[in-house]
């Protein structure tokens, strides 16, 4: 592993001694703790949150979901499935297939740094896939089909020769559908037993919003994406224009959800959902002024309002 770190450092013109083994684990950590830390880093728990929230939003669409449902096994098993299992699977697959890009952008990541070997990663991803499908079946048999679609989407997004992330808009649209629409429909199936077209239309609005939201992640890997031919919005349209396009799509999706609720006669809910966009616009001013350095800051400050609007919209179409 040390040899790999040195080769990466030489390639990037960095002193080998300055290249960190990990951002999360100190050099003095035990081997077991070091390995656990590497896997936690690979599965990226912070990325589970929007998927788990989308599952909850789908559950909120059902009138059968009440305060008592907070203790329902379908809620907690669904959160396990949508978060650590399928989201973790997709994140691990993305790192596995993006190890060449990460060697440029983030050489300290678990796979390019050698802390997790390719065979170990393959076995771990396979186990996560199996547990995902088993958990999905226990909640509702039809959720298995949605889980399979999500896993296939993750493969198409990251793996060659297709690698959808190289295609402008298509990659983010694929991830947004997997992050929002599929878990939303899973939550509906778990508590309602069927899928409502009205609720699905609202979910699609938030898929559109998420396409814009995911664009903010493209600003942290401009160099590696350019070298590997990945055509993200900032790569194709430039940093400033790409940022504006992403924000436009993000806000348009949320306002479309508010407009749909208004068409359904839910004026109060429409106003509340629209109001959640206003604080996001406040943070967007800072992001647009410096997209490269403020992308992570923006997500940390604004995502909560996006999720709140999604919950309100889901509650508004309860049936």
- The rounded distance, in Å, linking the Cα atoms of 240 and 219 is 10
CATH 1.20.120 is the classification of domain 196-319:
yes
Place of tokens 């992050």: 179
Give the model's confidence band at 257: pLDDT under 50 very low, under 70 low, under 90 confident, else very high.
Answer: very high
- pLDDT beyond 90 at 181: yes
Token code pair at residue 12: 């990037």
Would you state the pLDDT for residue 124? 96
The answer to whether the CB of 186 falls within 8 A of the CB of 55 is yes
- The rounded distance, in Å, linking the Cα atoms of 133 and 151 is 10
- pLDDT beyond 80 at 211: yes
The answer to whether the CB of 130 falls within 8 A of the CB of 86 is no
- The rounded distance, in Å, linking the Cα atoms of 2 and 25 is 16
At 40, which helix (H) or strand (E)?
helix 31-43
- pLDDT beyond 60 at 110: yes
The answer to whether the CB of 51 falls within 8 A of the CB of 183 is yes
- pLDDT beyond 70 at 277: yes
Kindly write down the DSSP assignment for every residue of 74-131, as one continuous string. Answer: HHHHHHHIIIIIHHHHHHHHHHHHTHHHHHHH-TTSTTTTTSS-HHHHHHHHHHHHHH
Would you state the pLDDT for residue 283? 95
At 156, which helix (H) or strand (E)?
helix 141-158
Q: Average pLDDT for residues 14-28, to the nearest whole number?
A: 46
Beta carbons within 8 Å of 82's beta carbon, 6+ residues apart: 48, 51, 52, 54, 55, 183, 186
Per residue in 58-108, pLDDT (tens digit) is: 999 999 999 899 999 999 999 999 999 999 999 999 999 988 878 887 889
210 alpha-carbon distance from chain centroid: 9
Whole-prediction pTM = 0.86
Token code pair at residue 317: 């179409």
Mean pLDDT taken over the chain = 87
- The rounded distance, in Å, linking the Cα atoms of 150 and 83 is 13
Domains of the chain, by residue range, sit at 1-11+49-54+69-191, 196-319
CATH of 1-11+49-54+69-191, picked from 1.10.3470.10, 1.10.357.140, 1.10.260.40, 2.170.150.70, is 1.10.357.140
Would you state the pLDDT for residue 89? 94
Three-class secondary structure assignment of 265-280? CCHHHHHHHHHCHHHH
- Phi/psi at 137 (5° precision): -65, -40
- The rounded distance, in Å, linking the Cα atoms of 63 and 66 is 7
Q: Which of 311, 48, 81 is nearest to 189 (CA)?
A: 81
Query: Cβ–Cβ contacts within 10 Å for residue 11, how many?
Result: 11
Q: Report the range of poorest mean pLDDT among 15-19, 127-131, 241-245.
A: 15-19
- pLDDT beyond 80 at 208: yes
Would you state the pLDDT for residue 170? 87
- The rounded distance, in Å, linking the Cα atoms of 172 and 178 is 10
Would you state the pLDDT for residue 179? 93
Per residue in 290-319, pLDDT (tens digit) is: 888 888 888 889 999 999 999 999 999 997
Q: Average pLDDT for residues 29-56, to the nearest whole number?
A: 90
Q: Average pLDDT for residues 164-177, to the nearest whole number?
A: 85
- The rounded distance, in Å, linking the Cα atoms of 95 and 45 is 14
- The rounded distance, in Å, linking the Cα atoms of 104 and 112 is 9
The answer to whether the CB of 140 falls within 8 A of the CB of 123 is no
């Amino acid at each position: 592993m040390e040899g790999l770190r040195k080769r990466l450092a030489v390639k990037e013109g960095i002193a080998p001694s300055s290249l960190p083994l990990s951002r999360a684990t100190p050099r003095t950590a035990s081997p077991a703790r070091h390995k656990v830390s590497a896997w936690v880093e690979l599965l990226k728990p912070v990325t589970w949150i929007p998927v788990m929230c989308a599952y909850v939003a789908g559950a909120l669409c059902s009138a059968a979901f009440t305060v008592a449902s907070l203790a329902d096994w379908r809620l907690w098993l669904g959160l396990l499935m949508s978060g650590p299992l399928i989201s973790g699977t997709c994140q691990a697959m993305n790192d596995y297939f993006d190890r060449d890009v990460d060697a440029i952008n983030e050489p300290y990541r678990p796979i390019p740094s050698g802390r997790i070997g390719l065979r170990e990663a393959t076995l771990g991803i396979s186990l996560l896939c199996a547990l995902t499908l088993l958990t999905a079946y226990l909640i509702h048999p039809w959720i298995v089909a949605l889980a399979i679609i999500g896993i296939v989407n993750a493969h198409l997004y990251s793996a060659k020769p297709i690698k959808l992330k190289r295609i402008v808009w298509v990659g983010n649209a694929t991830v947004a559908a997997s992050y929002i629409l599929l878990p939303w429909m899973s939550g509906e199936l778990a508590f309602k037993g069927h899928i409502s077209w009205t609720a699905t239309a609202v979910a699609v609005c938030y898929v559109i919003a998420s396409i814009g939201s995911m664009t903010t992640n493209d600003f942290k890997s401009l160099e590696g994406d350019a070298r590997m031919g990945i055509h993200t919005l900032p790569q194709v349209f430039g940093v400033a224009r790409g940022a504006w396009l992403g924000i436009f799509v993000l806000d348009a999706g949320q306002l479309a959800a508010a407009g749909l609720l208004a068409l359904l006669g839910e004026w109060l809910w429409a106003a509340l959902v629209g109001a959640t966009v206003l604080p996001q616009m406040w943070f967007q001013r800072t992001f647009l002024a410096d997209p490269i350095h403020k992308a992570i800051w923006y997500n940390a400050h604004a995502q909560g309002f996006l999720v709140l609007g999604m919950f309100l919209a889901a509650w508004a179409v309860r049936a």
